[in-house]
A and B are shown apart, each in its own frame.
Chain A
Amino acid sequence: MTRTDLGMPAFPPAAPFPPGATFPPGATSQAFPAFPEAAKEAVRDDVLRANLRRATHTIRDKRARAVTELADWDRLRAAGKAVKDHTLRHLDHYLLQLEAAVTAAGGTVHWAADAEEANRIVTALVLATGEREVVKVKSMATQETGLNEALEAAGIAAYETDLAELIVQLGHDRPSHILVPAIHRNRDEIRDIFRTEMAGWGRPAPEDLGDDPRELAEAARLHLREKFLRAKVAVSGANFMVAETGTMVVLESEGNGRMCLTLPDTLISVVGIEKVVPTFRDLEIFLQTLPRSSTAERMNPYTTMWTGTADGDGPSAFHLVLLDNGRTDTLADETGRQALRCIRCSACLNVCPVYERAGGHAYGSVYPGPIGAILSPQLRGTGSDIDATLPYASTLCGACYEVCPVAIDIPEVLVHLRERVAQGGPVTRAGIRVRLRPAHGHTAERAAMRAARLLLDRPGALRTAERLLARARRLRPRRLPGPGRAWTDTRTLPDLPAEPFRDWWLRERGTRP
Chain B
Amino acid sequence: MADTLPTLLLAEHDDASLNPVTARALTAALALGAPVHVLVAGENAQAAAQAAARLDGVAEVLLADGPAYAHRLAEPVAALGVALAPAYGALVAPSTAFGKSVMPRIAALIDVMQVSDVIAVIAPDTFDRPIYAGNALQRVRATDATKVLTIRTASFAAAGEGNAAPIRAVADAAPAGGASFLGEEIAASARPDLSAARIIVSGGRALGSAENFHAIVEPLADALGAAVGASRAAVDAGYAPNDWQVGQTGKVVAPDLYVALGISGAIQHLAGMKDSKVIVAINKDEDAPIFQVADYGLVGDLFEIVPALQAEIAKAKA
Real complex partners, A and B? no
Q: Enumerate chain A interface residues (CB-CB to B < 8 A).
A: none
B interface list, Cβ under 8 A from A: none
